[in-house]
Amino acid sequence: MASGKAAKHRITTEDDVEKSASKRSKRENGLSDPLRQPHHFAAEAEEHGIVLRKYYPPEMSNARAQAYNEDRIPRPIEELQDALRDTASARKGTKVGDAVVHWFKMDLRTTDNRALWEASQKARAADVPLICIYIVSPQDFEAHLTAPIRVDFTMRSLHALKEELAVLDIPLYVETVDKRKDVPGRVVEFMEEWGASHLFANIEYEVDELRREAKLARTLAEKGLALEVFHDTCVVPPGELHTGAGKQYAVYSPWFRSWVAHVHENPELLGAFDPPARNPAAARDRVAALFDGEVPDAPEGKRLSEDDAKRFRATWPAGEREAVDRLGRFCDEKIAQYGRRRNFPSEAATSSISVHLAAGTLSARTAIRTARDRNKTKKLDAGVEGIQTWIGEVAWRDFYKHVLVHWPYVCMNKPFKPEYSNIEWSYNTAHFAAWCEGRTGFPIVDAAMRQVQGVGWMHNRCRMIVASFLCKDLLLDWRMGERFFMENLIDGDFASNNGGWGFSASVGVDPQPYFRIFNPLLQSEKFDPDGDYIRKWVPELKDVQGKAIHDPYHRGAGPQAKKAGYPEPIADHKDSRDRALKAYKAGIERDKP
């Protein structure tokens, strides 16, 4: 794919310099002390493991979150834009060294990888080798709550990626750096060791990563080196879409209409970037030591047992070839019926490529382009209903990343709606343990939670059911559930996970109103009508017949369930609903004058 129009989606110096200077001034002069004060429930958040104080400050106040909303605090993306703007002249004048480096992060693929393609073009034009690096950061895995099953998938994907690149005489060097603060310095050292003057990378939109890259851009420029970063994760880069009033969208439906129109107007956004070109013939000898390096083991605390590793590897093969194959099979066999069958967890009706999108073994562009090309039209909002619906589901990933970039405090343990921080949660540890272990006495909830234990993944409809149950039936802090998902799901992605929990807990962007509360019994009857999903994951109930499978203790199967060891319900839905409504109302009205 030629750079042409795509070049406009690189962060450049075309932003409003005056606006940027104003925000830099605010940052340099500091903000008033009240904005530095933690939220009045910050101690509770810390006590219950919601804020990891080893890495992060206490939960911010609602006033500080509002300051982001009012543009009184620069967003991390703006800090990166500032750094790239300030170093633009130096970067432009940087001559290509003895090699060009691509830094892999959440883009573990050779095909349709924007920064990798750009790095290859740079290296090829200068007739120098392209060399690649990936840093294993145990502290980042810990700080970001990365599940061991996800770490295992990453390491296996690195093995596959290393083999793919080696065919092109391109080395991938993987190294563990124990302290997260040392990662940028080690990348700089690596560049200097191999005489590279250019570092290419795709942008990650979480707060830590944006701030890290902003500092790195300046550090490299001071050394006469250049950082070149690119939008790649999203089909439409964050910041491109605005309402008629020039604001960022906070509701999905109008955002999606704008997203579709933008892609139709800019079809190159779905174009594919070619794999990197083969390195010069002499490159393998010049960088031989990099080919010899092994992919390290997963860090301690993030390793699977041998049995789990074997089981999960059979269920979740890694690497971009598997990603493309899985996507192709879904589009060939299931996508046409996706709209009608996607909500039934007992059916294998979904694509199961979420882990590949999260790890970057598959790009969102490739996913949407592949689906579109199975349609009878190139329009994303026309043709086969199942294809339209699936593309709309993939687009949610773009939406939540756009939200993360514009409202970065959602990445800092705050809800999108700051006033919902004032809800007083119960923090009942026994209830939380029952929810985690799938022994709440609500069969559909327990089946879903046990699916996580079994395969490290959960059907999306069930994610909504168990999330609503945690927050509204048990009145537990939604962030405890958000953390559990990240620490246990193979497809954990911060923006999508946070957005999903925000929706279910009614504290996020475009949520269901807090007074709309899922009834787990009705959800069970509607989406698992025959109880097949429940029987698969809750074997104690495998012999319960008929409608009693959804609520055995209230439909005549109590003795049978009890004998099999299945627990009674830990909550009464009607009473829990009333309690939740009161708690939510009191919380959001707390700071009102």
Query: SS3 letters for 455-469?
Result: HCCCCHHHHHHHHHH
Percent of the chain with pLDDT over 90: 91
Q: Given 202, 478, 482, 488, which residue is catalytic?
A: 478
Q: Given 103, 396, 407, 457, which residue is catalytic?
A: 396
Distance of alpha carbon 279 from alpha carbon 355, whole angstroms? 30
pLDDT at 30: 45
Mean pLDDT estimate for the chain: 94
- Cα distances (Å, whole numbers) of residue 441 to 195, 406, 464, 540, 549: 62, 40, 18, 11, 11
Catalytic residue list contains 316: no
CA 566-572-578 angle, to 5 degrees, is 155
pLDDT at 13: 41
> Among candidates 76, 38, 29, 73, which has minimal Cα distance to 57?
38
- Cα distances (Å, whole numbers) of residue 102 to 48, 135, 209, 331, 479: 39, 12, 16, 32, 35
Q: What is the pLDDT averaged over residues 225-229?
A: 98
Beta strands, E only, 98-213 = 99-104, 130-136, 172-176, 196-202
Catalytic residue list contains 393: yes
Distance of alpha carbon 351 from alpha carbon 338, whole angstroms? 9
pLDDT value at 194 more than 80: yes
Q: Given 316, 407, 501, 537, which residue is catalytic?
A: 501
What number of other Cβ atoms are within 10 A of residue 348's Cβ?
A: 12
Instruction: Name the phi and psi angles at 57, rounded to 5.
Output: -75, 170
CB-count exposure of residue 235 (10 Å: 0-12, 13-18, 19+): buried
pLDDT at 10: 46
Q: What is the pLDDT averaged over residues 377-387?
A: 97
List, in sequence order, every residue forming a beta bridge with 229; answer none if it has no partner: 201
Distance of alpha carbon 402 from alpha carbon 152, whole angstroms? 28
Q: Do 42 and 469 touch, CB atoms closer than 8 A?
A: no
Q: What is the pLDDT averaged over residues 60-82?
A: 96
Distance of alpha carbon 320 from alpha carbon 16, whole angstroms? 39
Q: What is the pLDDT averaged over residues 547-573?
A: 98
Stated length of the chain: 593
- Cα distances (Å, whole numbers) of residue 249 to 234, 363, 365, 405, 545: 16, 23, 21, 12, 47
Q: Do 480 and 507 touch, CB atoms closer than 8 A?
A: no
- Cα distances (Å, whole numbers) of residue 162 to 106, 133, 292, 361: 15, 10, 11, 13
Q: Given 44, 142, 393, 525, which residue is catalytic?
A: 393
Tokens describing residue 230: 């690119």
pLDDT at 510: 76
Q: Given 347, 460, 519, 525, which residue is catalytic?
A: 460
pLDDT in tens, 11-62: 544 444 444 555 554 444 444 468 989 999 999 999 999 999 999 999 999 9
List, in sequence order, every residue forming a beta bridge with 380; answer none if it has no partner: none
Distance of alpha carbon 348 from alpha carbon 418, whole angstroms? 38
pLDDT band at 513 (very low <50, low <70, confident <90, very high): confident
pLDDT at 591: 80
pLDDT in tens, 117-145: 999 999 999 999 999 999 999 999 999 99
Inter-helix orientation angle 148-166/320-333, to 10°: 100
pLDDT in tens, 410-460: 999 999 999 999 999 999 999 999 999 999 999 999 999 999 999 999 999
pLDDT in tens, 478-503: 999 999 999 999 999 999 999 999 99
With residues binned 3-state (H G I as helix, E B as strand, rest as coil), the percentages for the chain, rounded to 5, are: 55, 5, 40
Distance of alpha carbon 247 from alpha carbon 470, whole angstroms? 33
Q: Classify strands 172-176 and 99-104 as parallel, antiparallel or unpaired.
A: unpaired
* CA 517 to the chain's CA centroid: 25
Q: Given 425, 435, 457, 537, which residue is catalytic?
A: 425
Name 155's Cβ contacts closer than 8 Å, sequence gap at least 6.
Answer: 136, 295, 296, 297, 298
Tokens describing residue 518: 């899922």
Catalytic residue list contains 396: yes
Q: Classify strands 130-136 and 226-230 as parallel, antiparallel or unpaired.
A: unpaired
What number of other Cβ atoms are within 10 A of residue 579's Cβ?
A: 17
> Among candidates 426, 66, 113, 402, which has minimal Cα distance to 273?
113
pLDDT value at 206 more than 50: yes
The DSSP-derived string for 365-413 is HHHHHHHHHTSSSS-TTSS-HHHHHHHHHHHHHHHHHHHHHHSGGGGTT
